[in-house]
Chains A and B, each alone.
Chain A
Amino acid sequence: MMRRIPTALIVAALALGASNQAIADTSGKRIALSNNYAGNSWRQAMLRSWDKVTSQAVEKGVVSAADAFTTAENQVTEQAAQIQNLILQGYDAIVINAASPEGLNGAVKEACDAGVTVVSFDGVVTEPCAWRIAVDFKQMGKDEVLYLADRLPDGGNLLEIRGLAGVFVDDEISAGIHDGVAETGKFKIVGSVHGNWAQDVAQKAVAGILPSLPEIAAVVTQGGDGYGAAQAFKAAGRPTPVIVMGNRHDELTWWKEQKDANNYETMSVSIAPGVSTLAFWVAQQVLDGQSVPKDLVVPFLRIDQDNLEENLATTEAGGVANVEYSLEDAKAVISAAGG
């Protein structure tokens, strides 16, 4: 009996040593993507990026599977059931873009209790056992106004195009914009409409309010709505203000056309749909036994006047400007968060 204990200790020590080794350790692991919605171009690009990056990872044997599942109805109950199924199917990690920050917490807790690693991104969950790759939406809104304060030293009137009413992201970006306006003290928001992050809805809302507005110096947006705003200004025969753009191909194309025609200057700030691949690598790192802080922050995808052409060239016609993340990028994000 006495002699067996040191042996067990040695075995344990060897096992521990091995688990700190390279990525080959996750080669038997299976990761699932639980996605709540696929009905717009951003989500389609997100799924394509996931597919591209994870299929390469599977081929190289980094993980054994990385399957994507999307719910049909964008409903909490449906996604909760989906997560429960994924637990039963024995996935080692579930990467979630959640339909609700709180609604899935029960299912997420079940997954954690079953020993499954849960990593949420974009639509993050609040359950403490899960990892969160969140976006600092407030900073995103503020960056827009800070840029405008530089561009337009005299300030002026702003038209704000918001997203979908009642959604957390919309409130955060808008709060950031209002903070920026208060801080710079140069601008006045004279109108605010909801464009639902969609070109045609934004176009309609702006066309309605525009006739009653004074001269507009700039339009602050939330992405996906810049081109619609530009169309509405054109239809109303008003001078084109500085419109902050999102990352859709038609927004960038319009910007490029204006830049070539009359040196139009603006900027674009958005979240790359490839953030799903960042979540994938974070899940892989957690499975690999690395120490990863629970709260991580995604870098913005910012496009400026001088790197517009470069970004436009890499954006698929009709698609969304995108960045796919590598294992090294994930490690950098993790170490930036103090992991």
Chain B
Amino acid sequence: MTYLARIGRQPWLWAWIAALTVWLATALFTGGQGAAEVMSAATTFGAFFVIVALGQMFVITLGPGNVDLSIPATMTLAGTVAMKVMDGANAMIPVGFLLAVAVGLGVGAINYGLIRFLRIPPIIATLSSSFIFQSAAIWYNRGLRIKPPEALADFATAKILGVPVLAVVVVLLAVVMHFVLVRTVYGRGVIAIGQNQRAAHLAGVPVERTRATTYVMCAVFASCCGYVLGAFSGGAALNMGEEYLLSSIAVVVIGGTSVAGGYANVPGLWGAALFLFLLVTMLNTFGAGAGVRLVLTGLIIIAVIVAASGGRKRDG
């Protein structure tokens, strides 16, 4: 009983309930036809959301005002650079990946530098740096779409028994990040800073080092997502990151992470990512017009967030 009660208070529960409800509603509407395939597609596309949301979650957990708005531009830049350098050659796949990671390290360092040394608030710093990254991507390849190497594209779209390989990899990544969050000194430090930066500092948490690590990590995740998304969708496009700006934040918040910082959880990210994809799919399947769809999307997201934050023990 107490175990059930404890589960019931978990903030990530609501995202999963919402995702399942929406999936069942879709399945009911179609009489069960294609329900498994829809879930398979949801795990594929949810994986991309989860990769960027993992980084965004750590950043948001650092406390009020911390958010990374340069994720779309970072994805575009990393995807563009990697695809152009690989130029479709299988042998260059590792080089492309290392370059994408290097782009992430560079982007993260610049973002943190703006925040720390020029004392620019993170929202402004990452928004303005994103113009630079986006322009760099435009300058580097003028919007030309270069195909990914065959082997990489096959990996990104591969399925085993109907389960996308990419989704399995990202689930493993999420498990690792869950332990980083709850079991490592770094992860506890992020949460402590989010709850009270001064107290964390007095308790011996290396505040600035933790913040630097977090912004760099977030940018590296965004870069990796750009690399994989480019491979998955047949090349990097200048607008490939566009929808990840708001969705990276939405996935974190719907997943039950506090937008004010200090409280985070990884399982909710997967629930929220599946939910966002399944919600659009459900409304498409119902044949709802664009206006109705957007209004309902907004209302449902608000409802889930309210439910999730109602279930959270803020004083615990």
Contact = CB atoms under 8 A, between A and B. Distances in A.
Given A43-B143, A208-B281, A192 B287 contact: yes
Interface in B15-54: 26, 29-30, 33-38, 41-42, 44-45
A138 interface: no
A200 B240 contact: yes
Contacts of A208: 38, 41-42, 45, 277-278, 280-281, 284
Contacts of A196: 242-243
A40 B144 contact: no
Contacts of A213: 34
Interface stretch (A18-26, A118-126, A316-324): A316-324
Interface of A: 38-41, 43-45, 48, 72, 162, 165-166, 191-194, 196, 198-201, 203-205, 207-213, 227-228, 231, 235-236, 248-250, 316-319
A162 B45 contact: no
A235 B233 CA distance: 11
Contacts of A199: 145, 233-235, 237
Given A193-B284, A200-B229, A38 B144 contact: no
Contacts of B103: none
A243 B235 CA distance: 20
Contacts of B277: 204, 208
Nearest to A227: B234
B298 to A, nearest CB: 13
* Interface of chain B, main secondary structure: helix
A217 to B, nearest CB: 18
A41 B238 CA distance: 7
The 9 closest A-B pairs by CB, nearest first: A211-B34, A44-B143, A318-B144, A208-B281, A211-B37, A165-B290, A200-B233, A41-B143, A212-B30
A207 B143 contact: no
A210 B26 CA distance: 12
Interface in B220-234: 229, 232-234
Interface string B281-314: 1001101001101100000000000000000000
Nearest to A198: B239
B131 interface: yes
A318 B287 contact: no
Given A41-B143, A41-B144, A318-B146, A211 B35 contact: yes
Nearest to B84: A318
Which interface residue of B44, B134, B234, B293 has the most chain A CB atoms within 10 A?
A: B234
Given A208-B281, A231-B233, A250 B145 contact: yes
Interface in B64-97: none
Residues of B in contact with A, size category: 35 or more
B184 interface: no
Contacts of B134: 39
A162 B293 CA distance: 14
16 contacts: A40-B237, A40-B238, A41-B144, A44-B142, A44-B144, A48-B142, A205-B280, A207-B41, A208-B38, A208-B280, A209-B281, A211-B33, A227-B234, A231-B157, A236-B37, A317-B144
Contacts of B232: 200
Interface string B129-141: 0010010001001
B188 interface: no
A108 to B, nearest CB: 27
B116 interface: no
A72 B130 CA distance: 11
Given A48-B142, A208-B38, A228-B233, 12 more contacts: A39-B138, A41-B145, A165-B291, A165-B293, A191-B285, A196-B243, A198-B240, A204-B277, A208-B277, A209-B284, A250-B145, A317-B144
Contacts of B33: 211-212
Contacts of B293: 165
B178 interface: no
Contacts of A39: 134, 138, 238-239
Contacts of B142: 44, 48
A178 to B, nearest CB: 12
Contacts of A38: 138
A40 B280 contact: no
A269 B218 CA distance: 41
